[in-house]
Amino acid sequence: MLEELKRQVYEANMLLPEYHLVTFTWGNVSGIDREQGLFVIKPSGVEYERLRPEDMVVLDLTGRQVEGVLRPSSDTKTHLELYRAFPELGGIVHTHSPHAVAFAQAGEDIPCMGTTHCDYFYGDIPCVRHLTEEEIAEDYERNTGLGIVEHFRRNAISPVYVPGCVCRSHGPFAWGTDCFQAVHNAAVMEEVARMDIYTRLVNPNAGNAPKHYLEKHFSRKHGPNAYYGQR
């Protein structure tokens, strides 16, 4: 079942250590087949060097495991809530990449300070609130996803224009039209977080890039008038 999607999700997961986004097993990637209402995710706690495409786990959008002998990622319910809330999403990734985690632990948005950020995220990458003690006790992973959804909806943030966030005291989630774009956006998030930290070391008072830089750089890669790259 979904052999091609399982292969893609496996390959996307293998990019996490290649791009230095994970240590040990601290990450996971999923991808969804919207027509069938099924998604594929990495199994929980399996070392990357031991992973195989056939190890990927298939679930439906109620969270029921429909294929696979291994337990799915412990973050599966977070992925599930994001897929259910945002139909534009085709792939999701969670990592503990250190520079993005630094902003999560500091409780700060990743500010849009330069054109690298402007190319991919339309504005600051938000930091989502702490969960309450009750939310963690009730259903930690599900409420992590619901917290992200709540933040984006309350602040009218488009998950297409801002394809990721950091969760307070936790770490980054990123997404895209498929699992590979999700990993790409996670790598960009980590890189711009690193750039911002260096920028603040050089000048603690440095601010965001001017709005017209954001408009220009985002629109030349996204939307009807995009002209970056080849046709």
Instruction: Indicate if the pLDDT at residue 230 is higher than 90.
Output: no
Digit-coded pLDDT (tens) for 128-181: 999 999 999 999 999 999 999 999 999 999 999 999 999 999 999 999 999 999
Q: Which of 60, 139, 161, 228 is catalytic?
A: 228
Question: Is 174 part of any domain?
Answer: yes
Q: What is the mean pLDDT of the chain?
A: 97
Q: Tell me, what's the pLDDT at 206?
A: 97
By the 8 A CB rule, do 92 and 29 touch?
yes
Please say if 10 is a catalytic residue. Answer: no
Q: Which domain holds residue 115?
A: 3-219
Structure tokens belonging to residue 190: 């980590």
Neighbours of 84 (CB within 10 A): 15
Q: Tell me, what's the pLDDT at 225?
A: 87
Question: Is 225 part of any domain?
Answer: no
CA 13 to mean position of chain CA atoms: 12
Please say if 119 is a catalytic residue. Answer: yes
Q: Tell me, what's the pLDDT at 19?
A: 97
In one-letter notation, the amino acid at residue 164 is G
Q: How many domains does the chain have?
A: 1
Q: Tell me, what's the pLDDT at 220?
A: 94
Question: Is 228 part of any domain?
Answer: no
Q: Find the mean pLDDT for residues 50-65.
A: 97
Digit-coded pLDDT (tens) for 71-94: 999 999 999 999 999 999 999 999
Q: Which of 19, 109, 119, 213 is catalytic?
A: 119
Q: Tell me, what's the pLDDT at 103?
A: 98
CA 45 to mean position of chain CA atoms: 19
By the 8 A CB rule, do 181 and 89 touch?
no
Give the CATH number of the domain where residue 93 resides.
3.40.225.10
**What CA–CA distance (Å, rounded) separates 107 from 167?**
8
